[in-house]
Structure 1
Amino acid sequence: MSDKRDDDGPAQYASPPCFMHELDPGYQMPLSDWTDVRRWRKAERERLIGARLAVSADARAAMSQRIGEGLDTLVGNVAGLMVSLYWPFRGEPDLRGFMASINARGGRTALPVVIEKGQPLVFRAYAPGDRLEKGVWNIPIPAEGDPVLPDIVISPVVGIDPSNYRLGYGGGFYDRTLAAMPFRPLVIGVGYELQRIPTIYPQRHDIPMTKVVTEATGA
């Protein structure tokens, strides 16, 4: 599921900006001002997306296969479960094969839908072969269907830190969605090892993933 906007809502801090000395991604110092965090996240987001797009399509396909295997091991029996995945975007792991296998084994799948900027996502049931239409940023979404509540949410990451905090596209959609759900699903972040970073400088509104799966997890 992809969430793209300028940045999530600010936390309130009083210290002056310092802007991380030219935004060197390897330079990790405490940031206490939301302006600094926001600018650092934007630069880090661009760096990490560029890094994954630089990986060849064949290599990404092989890594996606291993990520699917890792998810299969982690999730186990999917019969009767509703699993939300996403349509791959800008080099994200392609898990459409794993999606098809969930349906083949008695589970159900869904895709996220952006309804309105600044609002939680809605999940609509989707199985391979169902009709799709273009959603926000031209990402395919289910053309019809009532909203569903997934038992498992599988979310792509732009970056991930050791505490399982996810750097996304900056829209804050996932955090809002998880905060608004009537129960907490199992939330699994997926990405490549190259997307691991020391910290995302988590804020009060950030919600960590329950688990993270990369190609190394699935190997």
Structure 2
Amino acid sequence: MKPPRELKRELRREALARRDALDPSFRIEAALEMTEFARNSIEVEPGAIASGFWPMRSEVDVRPLMFALRENGARLCLPAILDKTTMIFRELVRGAALVDMGFGTAGPGDEAEALDPSIMLVPLAAFDTRGHRIGYGAGYYDRAISRLTDAGHAPRLIGIAFDCQEVPTVPDEPHDVIIPEILTESGLRRFTASL
């Protein structure tokens, strides 16, 4: 039996290959479909802080979804990579310049306010029906979620992916954060936590 990290690498590579193979027009339509699902299923308290992400490569473009959350009263933020282990979230203000965050993403600069999101749209490479996810391997989201939880916050975690990124089982590791909801082009799926 292969070690969990090696299995995760294989599952990540296969799921990302399937995602990369999706027609770009389909990806656009799917992102808009997800926005409509979210309008009906993600309630936002006025002033709630929602984190999104700047899409890279063939990821779901969550910008329409983020704007829908803003229309419903949310303040928006994007991740900012501070160093090799630390990611925080900075407010996304209309008209403010974005800076290169590495990895092909952009985000607000140092002058933007750091925020603690109450709703997090979480990118992922693969997921299973238990809400286990495979990220991109650097652990930024696992550490950021852990930091927020340790500080007494309990953000609503919503993974964002295409249906083709689902895998039968993600190998469990102690540091893994379970994502109880995944939004795909088929709708918002809620999972019950189980090992």
TM-score of the aligned structures, taking structure 2 as reference length:
0.88
The equivalent position to 2:100 in structure 1, one of 129, 134, 140, is 134
SS at match of 2:186: helix
CA distance in 1, matches of 2:64, 2:45: 15
Q: Is the 8 A contact 2:161 2:184 kept in 1?
A: yes
The equivalent position to 1:205 in structure 2, one of 134, 157, 175, is 175
Letter in 1 for 2:95: G
Q: Is the 8 A contact 1:67 1:190 kept in 2?
A: no
Q: Residue 180 in 1 paired to residue 147 in 2?
A: yes
Superposed counterparts of 1:34-183, under 5 Å: 36-119=3-86, 121-143=87-109, 144-181=111-148, 182=151, 183=153
- For 1:86-122, what per-residue CA distance to the aligned partner results, in whole angstroms no more than 9, with x for missing partners? 0011211111122223223322100011111123x20
How far has the Cα of 1:150 moved from its partner? 0.7
| Runs of 5+ consecutive residues of structure 1 not aligned to the other structure | 1-17, 20-35
CA distance in 2, matches of 1:140, 1:39: 30
Distance 1:91 1:158, change over 3 A: same
Letter in 1 for 2:158: I
Task: Tell me the residue number matched to 1:25.
Answer: none
- For 1:47-91, what per-residue CA distance to the aligned partner results, in whole angstroms no more than 9, with x for missing partners? 111111111110001111111122222212442211000001121
| Runs of 5+ consecutive residues of structure 2 not aligned to the other structure | 189-195
- For 1:153-196, what per-residue CA distance to the aligned partner results, in whole angstroms no more than 9, with x for missing partners? 01122111111011110111111111111211100001111111
Q: Is the 8 A contact 1:189 1:212 kept in 2?
A: yes
Over 4 Å off, 4+ runs: none
SS at match of 1:90: coil
Moved more, 102-111 or 161-170: 102-111
Letter in 1 for 2:55: P
CA distance in 2, matches of 1:146, 1:55: 36
CA distance in 1, matches of 2:7, 2:44: 40
- For 1:17-42, what per-residue CA distance to the aligned partner results, in whole angstroms no more than 9, with x for missing partners? x33xxxxxxxxxxxxxxxx2111211
The aligned length equals 184
CA distance in 2, matches of 1:137, 1:77: 29
Letter in 2 for 1:190: I
Letter in 2 for 1:123: F
Q: Rg: which structure is higher?
A: 1
Q: Is the 8 A contact 1:78 1:102 kept in 2?
A: no
CA distance in 2, matches of 1:96, 1:50: 23
Greater relative contact order: 1 or 2 (C-alpha under 8 angstroms, separation 6 or more)?
1
Task: Tell me the residue number matched to 2:191.
Answer: none
CA distance in 1, matches of 2:158, 2:143: 16
* RMSD over equivalenced CA pairs, Å: 1.5
Q: Is the 8 A contact 2:7 2:171 kept in 1?
A: no
CA distance in 2, matches of 1:78, 1:54: 37
CA distance in 2, matches of 1:71, 1:215: 10
